[in-house]
């Protein structure tokens, strides 16, 4: 019991700072749509919701429109948004490296409005305040990678796993004590007992929220890694069936596209 208490105490202290960072950075991101709409002067007007099936039917037309309007760009991925009938094409300059992208933030993306048949490059946005845009970008980087580079995503998953350990050990420690008390009891014998009771009650709600957030965070990271690996394997498989010209060609092309897929995978954080 003492060892479990020690693990819970120290892991909880570390994870409390981690959860505080995620909470503070995630709060403005919840309203990023509204903030970006207010801060962008030339953003196209949002349309009405559209069925997802109709959005996908417009994909060939949208792809043709994007290629015609931006002939020097290659399309890497597309994300439909059924809330306003828009297709988001993630693009990169031909021969260039793709920037990081996650949750429709980062990289270069072109919006295609299915109703008006118009394309708009998000890099051409004009902001009311550059400071607001910089703040939102910083919050995004801290929230999805904790301000780190490639290893930030893996570190995020590790901290989520540690947070789950903290929650499980807390349930193991406090469950026997909670059984002997009615839910919501506040004893006022001493200040320590009073705040201990508050801690037990709030831990039930905070623990449920933190469990959902941490488990979903781990799933998102695993999905991102899986999408990157699947994309890389598909590219390698595609090149493996091509006619073999020379040993140098066989080595260079798959290796080049393997690294390109790591940069351009749609699920990369």
Lowest mean pLDDT among 158-162, 183-187, 200-204, 242-246: 242-246
Instruction: Dump pLDDT digits (tens) for 84-96.
Output: 888 898 888 876 6
Mean pLDDT for the stretch of residues 244-249: 48
Residue found under tokens 């890694």: 225
Flag whether pLDDT at 226 surpasses 80.
Answer: no
Residue 88 and residue 157 in one domain = no
- 215: containing domain: 2-27+149-239
What are the beta bridge partners of residue 108? 91
Assign 255 a pLDDT band (cuts: 50, 70, 90). Answer: very low
pLDDT at 126 exceeding the cut of 90:
no
Domain with 63 in it: what CATH number? 3.10.450
> Does residue 144 sit within a domain?
no
pLDDT at residue 49 greater than cutoff 90: no
Split into its structural domains, the chain has a count of: 2
Among 56, 91, 124, which residue terminates a domain? 124
For residue 227, what pLDDT band results from cuts at 50, 70 and 90?
low
């Amino acid at each position: 019991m003492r060892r479990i208490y020690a693990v819970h105490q120290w892991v909880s202290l570390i994870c409390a700072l981690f959860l505080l960072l995620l909470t503070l950075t995630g709060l403005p991101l919840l309203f990023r749509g509204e903030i970006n709409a207010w801060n962008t002067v030339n953003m196209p007007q949002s349309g009405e919701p559209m069925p997802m099936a109709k959005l996908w039917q417009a994909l060939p037309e949208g792809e043709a429109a994007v290629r015609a309007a931006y002939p020097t760009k290659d399309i890497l991925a597309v994300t439909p948004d059924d809330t306003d009938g828009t297709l988001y094409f993630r693009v990169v300059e031909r021969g260039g490296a793709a920037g990081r992208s996650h949750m429709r933030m980062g990289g270069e993306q072109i919006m295609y409005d299915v109703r008006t048949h118009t394309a708009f490059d998000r890099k051409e946005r004009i902001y009311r305040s550059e400071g607001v845009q910089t703040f939102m970008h910083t919050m995004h980087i801290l929230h999805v990678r904790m301000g780190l580079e490639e290893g930030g995503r893996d570190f995020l998953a590790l901290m989520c796993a540690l947070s789950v350990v903290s929650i499980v050990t807390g349930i193991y420690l406090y469950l026997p004590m909670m059984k002997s008390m009615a839910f919501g009891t506040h004893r006022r014998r001493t200040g320590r007992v009073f705040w201990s009771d508050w801690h037990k009650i709030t831990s039930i709600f905070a623990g449920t929220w933190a469990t959902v957030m941490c488990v979903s965070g781990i799933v998102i990271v695993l999905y991102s890694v899986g999408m990157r690996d699947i994309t890389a394997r598909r590219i390698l498989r595609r090149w493996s069936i091509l006619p073999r010209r020379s040993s140098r060609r066989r080595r260079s092309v798959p290796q080049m596209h393997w690294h390109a897929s790591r940069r351009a995978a749609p699920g990369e954080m």
